Amino acid sequence: MHIHNFSNQNTILNTFISEMRDVNIQKDSMRFRRNIERIGEILGYELSKTLSYKPTTINTPLGVCNIEKIDNDVVLCSILRAGVPLHDGLLNYFDKAENAFISAYRHHKEKPENFEIIVEYLACPNLENKTLILADPMLATGQSMVATFEALKPFGKPKNIHLVSVIAAQEGINYIENYFEKDTHLWVATVDEKLNDKGYIIPGLGDAGDLAFGEKLQH
């Protein structure tokens, strides 16, 4: 897997992540969502450097110029709920992309550390030979990424796969590296050291879905 981790570069990206992690600033859910969206825009821009381009001719009011334009059929797929603002950020840049949405949540059994991933809602176009961008801000155990990709398989085999996250745990990266093909790209704003016994990223930021959209009742 090609892992693109941007945390070692001093850029504005780190400011957005620091606001998302900050226990006081993250109470402002609009800023939290907007920061995820801005990170989606930045990672989308970085990812765009690896796509294919074809020459096109543009007529300006005063002349003609040749410009290389993206030649990929991009499908953006985000994992509900927390993936919604990341999806918005990516779609701000890949404005012609097709879109897929899939839901995944942790269903807790008797103990908080025992959970399974439930995939329910899925709306997806044909993925055959397309460039799939699968987005979820948190990559913790990696189980949601794998469970959702399994559910997408009947929709066709993408030509390229790009996974996009804001914060990943090294354990989750190891897990998905064993599952996805070697030419898969992972675009991640930062990588944290570990998971706690409930599968939360440490230091992480808490529960991204709740911070973006409010606490949900367990069912």
Ligand X SMILES: O=P(O)(O)OC[C@H]1O[C@H](OP(=O)(O)OP(=O)(O)O)[C@H](O)[C@@H]1O
Ligand Y SMILES: O=c1cc[nH]c(=O)[nH]1
User: In the complex with ligand X, which residue's Cβ is closer, 19 or 136?
Assistant: 136
Q: How far is the CB of 183 from ligand X (least distance, A)?
A: 22
In degrees rounded to 5, what are phi and psi of residue 198?
-100, 10
Distances (CA, A) of 85 to 39, 40, 88, 178, 181: 9, 8, 5, 28, 27
- Judged by CB under 6 A, the chain residues 107 through 126 that form the site for ligand X are 117
Residue selected from 44, 142, 172, 209 as contacting Mg ion according to rule CB under 5 A: 209
Contact between 200 and ligand Y per CB under 6 A: yes
Q: What does 32 bind: Mg ion, ligand X, ligand Y, none (CB cut-off 5 to 8 Å by kind)?
A: none
Contact between 87 and ligand X per CB under 6 A: no
**DSSP letter for each residue of 63-119:** -EEEEEEE---EEEEEEETTHHHHHHHHHHHSTT-EEEEEEEEEEE-SSTT-EEEEE
Cα 70 to its chain centre, rounded Å, is: 20
Q: What does 132 bind: ligand X, ligand Y, Mg ion, none (CB cut-off 5 to 8 Å by kind)?
A: none
- Binding segment for ligand Y (CB under 6 A), chosen from 36-44, 55-63, 108-116, 202-210, is 202-210
Provide the 10 A C-beta neighbour count for residue 84: 19
Residue selected from 21, 51, 207, 213 as contacting ligand Y according to rule CB under 6 A: 207
Question: Would you call 158 helix, strand, or coil by DSSP?
Answer: coil
Question: Which residues here bind ligand X, judged by CB under 6 A?
Answer: 79, 81-82, 104-106, 117, 136-144, 172, 199, 207-209
Question: Which residues here bind ligand Y, judged by CB under 6 A?
Answer: 82, 138, 140, 200-201, 204, 207-209
